[in-house]
């Protein structure tokens, strides 16, 4: 699916992540629930994750999306730091 056909939910989640992680080099949000907004897969690459364990990185994303998560059934989070 191309970026232009992003669902409203994907766009909303991506916007929140862009605001919370201004140094992110990559933010990709995909609705994996068939378009109903119940479950998302998030890939985010950000300098803010450097020197943090994966659990800490995922908690940062969960905290950033605390309001949006209330209406979701599931969330898959993939985090990374930019390669030097």
Residue-number span of the structural domain to which 35 is assigned: 8-80
Instruction: Confirm whether 2 is domain-assigned.
Output: no
- Is residue 1 a part of any domain in this protein? no
How far apart, in whole angstroms, are the C-alpha atoms of residue 47 and residue 35?
A: 30
Report if residue 75 sits inside a domain. yes
d(CA 45, CA 34): 24
Mean pLDDT by 10 residues, the chain (84 residues): 70 96 96 89 97 97 95 94 90
Q: Tally the domains of the chain.
A: 1
CATH of residue 60 = 3.30.300.90
pLDDT at 66: 95
CA 31 to chain CA centroid, Å, is 11
pLDDT at residue number 5: 72
């Amino acid at each position: 699916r191309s970026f232009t056909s992003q669902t409203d939910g994907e766009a909303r989640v991506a916007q929140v992540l862009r605001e919370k992680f201004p140094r992110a080099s990559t933010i990709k949000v995909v609705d994996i629930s068939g378009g109903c907004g119940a479950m998302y897969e998030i890939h985010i690459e950000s300098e803010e994750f450097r020197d943090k364990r994966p659990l800490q990185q995922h908690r940062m994303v969960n905290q950033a999306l605390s309001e949006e998560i209330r209406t979701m059934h599931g969330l898959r989070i993939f985090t990374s730091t930019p390669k030097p």
